[in-house]
Amino acid sequence: MFCTKCGKEITDGVKFCSHCGAEVNSAKPAAAPAPKPAAPAVPAQMPGHDLAVASLCCSIGSLTVFPIVLGIVGIILGCVAKSQGYKGSLATAGIICGIISIILPIIGIICYLLFMFFLASAL
């Protein structure tokens, strides 16, 4: 350990510094501060993690099974997850997939309508 007054190295356990004679505290001030046990307790999951997972599941379900409606649910769940402090990419992925799952069928419907329109005008 090191003397708190002169900073020189002294033997562990001694009461007085052998260099300057100052009383040595048992607590080591030069050592790193004691870790705070409760303060930075890392949570097992980020807040909103479940919602973010649900958001991505809904959006993927919207892309594959039930378009638009599940996509809207996925976007809402993703936004709620973000508002709860979720910082991961799952919520963003859920929102993006949800938007894609809504846009794709709309584009498909528009293409279908345009195709039918041109087909009807050609006849």
Site of interaction with Zn ion (CB under 5 A)? 3, 5-6, 17, 19-20, 22
Long-range contacts of range 15-19, CB-CB < 8 Å, 24 or more positions apart?
none
Closer CB to Zn ion, residue 22 or residue 106?
22
Closer CB to Zn ion, residue 6 or residue 110?
6
Query: To the nearest 10°, the Cα dihedral for 103, 106, 112, 115?
Result: -70
Beta bridge partners of 2: 9
Work out how close the CB of 34 gets to Zn ion at its nearest, in angstroms, rounded to a whole number: 23
Closer CB to Zn ion, residue 5 or residue 28?
5
Work out how close the CB of 1 gets to Zn ion at its nearest, in angstroms, rounded to a whole number: 11
Count H helices, E strands: the chain?
A: 3, 0
Work out how close the CB of 9 gets to Zn ion at its nearest, in angstroms, rounded to a whole number: 9
Orientation angle between helical segments 49-64 and 89-122, nearest 10 degrees: 20
